[in-house]
Amino acid sequence: MVFSFDKLVGIHEQALSIRTKRNELLASNLANVDTPGYKARDIDFKAALSEANSNQQGAFMKKTHARHLSNGMPGLPNAELLYREPSQPSLDGNTVDAQVEQAEFGENALRYQASLHFLDRRFKGIISALRGE
């Protein structure tokens, strides 16, 4: 019997990668809460996961010219970087709302842990099956 690693982990591998990048963006936003003119950035997780899933199935986007610009997110070749709209714009042009960023960071971290837990249970199930338990 042959096991396919891709079938074993499903979309959780891409989900963890996207959530890691999103955590980096949210942490950067929080680190720049007092930086004048800083624009809060984020990614649309659902769109990025959908695109990563379609890329896994062979629909890769390719640069056709060396001077084409990338989106600046090396781990996510085609994820669109979004700028958050401020609920209360500041006088210095900074769009980071610390409370919003902390809430988003917490939710993203919780969902990251859920994906890790799912993968852990999946691997433990495979190990049990291989041992004949």
Please compute the mean of the pLDDT values over residues 49-64 and round it to a whole number: 65
Give the predicted TM-score (pTM) of the model.
0.74
> Does the structure show a pLDDT above 80 at 104?
yes
User: Which pairing describes strands 41-43 and 81-83: parallel, antiparallel, or unpaired?
Assistant: antiparallel
So what's the pLDDT on residue 83?
Answer: 93
In a domain, residue 16? The reply is yes
In a domain, residue 64? The reply is no
20 three-state secondary structure: helix
> Does the structure show a pLDDT above 80 at 24?
yes
So what's the pLDDT on residue 59?
Answer: 40
In a domain, residue 109? The reply is yes
Residue by residue, DSSP assigns 33-90 as: TTSTT---EEE-HHHHHHHHHHHHTT-----SSTTPPP-S-TTSTTPPEEEPPPSS--
In a domain, residue 21? The reply is yes
> Does the structure show a pLDDT above 50 at 60?
no
Q: Which domain holds residue 52?
A: 12-59+75-131
> Does the structure show a pLDDT above 80 at 42?
yes
In a domain, residue 24? The reply is yes
Total domains in the chain come to: 1
Partner residues linked to 41 by β-bridges: 83
In a domain, residue 70? The reply is no
Q: Closest Cα to residue 42, out of 26, 53, 54, 56? A: 26
